[in-house]
Amino acid sequence: MSETVLGILASGRGSNMQSILNNISSGRLHAKIGIVISDHANAKVLEIAAVAGIPAVCIERKNFATKQEFEAAIAAEIVNHEVQLVVLAGFMRILSGYFIGLFPGRIMNIHPSLLPAFPGLNAHSQALTYGAKVSGCTIHFVDEGVDTGPIIMQQAVEVLPDDTPDSLAERIIKVEHALYSKAIGLYCDQRLSIEGRNVKIIE
């Protein structure tokens, strides 16, 4: 079976993208990164792509009159690089119904909480402010809501009494790195089936 082509959308540090890359290089994930797209010119993820020799582009919202034109430019890169699965890895923008409709069931996101708890920005602070004893991370298909799409995988991480947003984030990101490649691998092996809100993992 040929490798599934991934398109990574990321706004910043790119540690999830790096871990996906590491898992591809070591043969644990049978996929290929066709393109990395960032909406920030100085995002570290662009440096990671450059070092790895992966095609990468910066597409900034400010260079487009409308959100739809911005998203159309991203979509064009995805199509041109024959991407099969769009992987949001710290992409800090809400995608519109227009964009999501172009790639139905083909956009995945990772979020650092156990959804539906603590969606949107600052998930770690939200968990601490709420007094949650457990948080974690969620990988889901993207729909038009904010972090509301059908859930693929989740893993819990304990919240410790002295946690700060940074210390909690540090433990959750380790789980993110392991879990994202697993979920992508299931997609690549055609083992995910979306049935309404439920994602079935085919044995």
Catalytic residue numbers read 111
Does 173 bind ligand GAR (CB under 6 A)? Our answer is yes
**Rounded to the nearest whole angstrom, what is the least distance from the CB of residue 198 to ligand GAR in the complex?**
22
Rounded to 5 degrees, what are φ and ψ at 18?
-60, -40
Distance of alpha carbon 124 from alpha carbon 10, whole angstroms: 19
Does 136 bind ligand GAR (CB under 6 A)? Our answer is no
Coil, strand or helix: which one is 103?
Answer: coil
**Rounded to the nearest whole angstrom, what is the least distance from the CB of residue 162 to ligand GAR in the complex?**
21
Does 15 bind ligand GAR (CB under 6 A)? Our answer is yes
Q: Which stretch binds ligand GAR (CB under 6 A): 9-17, 31-39, 95-103, 151-159?
A: 9-17
Does 181 bind ligand GAR (CB under 6 A)? Our answer is no
**Rounded to the nearest whole angstrom, what is the least distance from the CB of residue 2 to ligand GAR in the complex?**
26
From candidates 14, 34, 136, 149, binder to ligand GAR by CB under 6 A = 14
Integer CA distances (angstroms), 196 to 68, 91, 149, 193, in order:
27, 25, 10, 10
Task: Name residues contacting ligand GAR, limited to 57-96 (CB under 6 A).
Answer: 89-90
Distance of alpha carbon 151 from alpha carbon 140, whole angstroms: 4
**Rounded to the nearest whole angstrom, what is the least distance from the CB of residue 88 to ligand GAR in the complex?**
7
Distance in angstroms between the alpha carbons of the first and the last residue of the chain: 18
Q: Per the structure block, which two tokens stand in for 161?
A: 């009494």
Coil, strand or helix: which one is 98?
Answer: helix
Distance of alpha carbon 95 from alpha carbon 100, whole angstroms: 7
Q: Give the interface with ligand GAR as residue ranges (CB under 6 A).
A: 10, 12-16, 89-90, 110-112, 123, 147, 173, 176
